[in-house]
Amino acid sequence: TNNATALFVYTILVVLFFSSCSQKNFSSNTSYQFKSTSANPDYSDLNYWAAHPGKADPSDSIPTSLQQTNLADTLADVFFIHPTTFTSKKDSLMNAGIDDATLNAKTDYSAILYQASAFNNSCRVFAPRYRQAHYRAFFSNTEATKLAFELAYADVKAAFEYYLVNNNRGRPIIIAAHSQGTVHAARLLKEFFENKPLQQQLVAAYLVGMPIAETYFTALKPCTDSLATGCFVSWRTYKKGYIEPNFVARETFKAIVTNPLTWRTDTGYASLKLNTGGILKNFNKLKPGVVDAQVHRNVLWVIKPRFFGNFLITTKNYHIADINFFYNNIRQNVAARVRSYLKR
């Protein structure tokens, strides 16, 4: 089936992009043996945060070549919502357990390390654990799947409310997310930011890996350049020339697509030379020019990524690397937008 094929491709890509990292190589004092007596998260307990400035965790990691240029995390906060890591075919549950030790470790040393860390340049990173919906929920539209996403969002919302009351203290905020995280982030922005006082604290939102229809927001606008603030960026990455037939080709709306090499939404071509470095299997090895980028209708087109062993990549959907391909460009842009926000 298409669902089974998609899941297989996703699993292979996870292995290719995220498999080489050993936990011992990255500082963390996270315990995975905690148990929730109620099955609900308790965000006053650091165990329920995958990333938090109050503890050492993989979001603090910085590739070796960038450590000298990293800015201290004193200027703004990032609230990062991680993508789906609950993908096992053997699991019949619709939502992940909040205290699933194996899944939490998988999340921390994949999405938190390789994605959330891209936002730690001049920022503190907060990333809640939440009872994410299972991967299969994206391939059906039933009452059960709707409830699964509602439960996941309820946790994200509770974490954000806890953060606002106990940690924010008026600091500028970046909302960042990928895939399922972007589904929840977009909803969070509508509920807490759009046409609300908190909109004044928004540096920018990075809504990556899922389409954001141009009509979804009213007051929040797409960022027009690399220094715009109070706005959002969004993209989905595919091999040049490819349109996903089961999803993208069927979309009847226009999605906002940002080129993360130029930070514009026009269709101008951005060459490999503008890509200051992607992160693939080896977290500490920055690879400049790994892909180019060009907006094409509802998606971002790139060439087949350039790295040793790329012949193993046969898929044309580069969803798993939406952030990895542009890792250093994102880091640089986060710092630039924070400076721009503070000046304004």
- Please list the helix, strand and coil fractions of the chain in percent, rounded to the nearest 5, in that order: 35, 15, 45
At 27 the pLDDT is 60
Alpha helices in 229-314 (DSSP H): none
Q: Is the torsion defined by CA of 140, 143, 145, 150 positive or negative?
A: positive
pLDDT value at residue 266? 98
Beta strands 294-296 and 299-302, pairing class: antiparallel
Rounded to an integer, what distance in angstroms lies between the CA atom of residue 267 and that of residue 261?
12
Average pLDDT over residues 3-32: 49
Which pLDDT tens digit goes with each residue over 213-228?
999 999 999 999 999 9
* Concatenated DSSP letters of 122-134: TEEEEEE---PBP
What whole-number distance in Å separates Cα of residue 30 and Cα of residue 94? Answer: 26
H or E stretch at 322? none
Cα(136)–Cα(133) distance, rounded to whole angstroms?
Answer: 8
CB 237 within 8 A of CB 302: yes
What is the pTM (predicted TM-score) of this model?
A: 0.93
For the stretch 116-129, pLDDT in tens is 999 999 999 999 99
Helix (H, G, I), strand (E, B) or coil at 263: coil
pLDDT at 223: 98
Q: Which helix (H) or strand (E) holds 336?
A: helix 327-343
What is the band of 312 on the pLDDT scale with cuts at 50, 70, 90? confident
d(CA 47, CA 203): 27
pLDDT at 24 over 50: no
The separation between CA 233 and the C-alpha centre of its own chain, rounded to angstroms, equals 12
Residue indicated by tokens 């590739």? 63
Is the Cβ–Cβ distance between 234 and 255 less than 8 Å? yes
Could you give the CA distance from residue 344 to residue 339 in angstroms, rounded to a whole number? 9
Edge to edge, what strands does the sheet with 299-302 contain? 237-239, 299-302, 294-296
Q: Is the pLDDT of residue 2 over 60?
A: no
SS3 230: coil
What is the residue-wise DSSP string for 159-170?
HHHHHIIIIITT
N-term to C-term CA, the chain:
52
Confidence tier at 60 by pLDDT (50, 70, 90): very high
pLDDT for the residue 11:
42
The arithmetic mean of pLDDT across residues 299-324, rounded, is 90
Place of tokens 């924010």: 168
Rg (CA), the chain: 19
Beta-carbon contacts of residue 149 (< 8 Å; ≥ 6 apart): 133, 137, 183
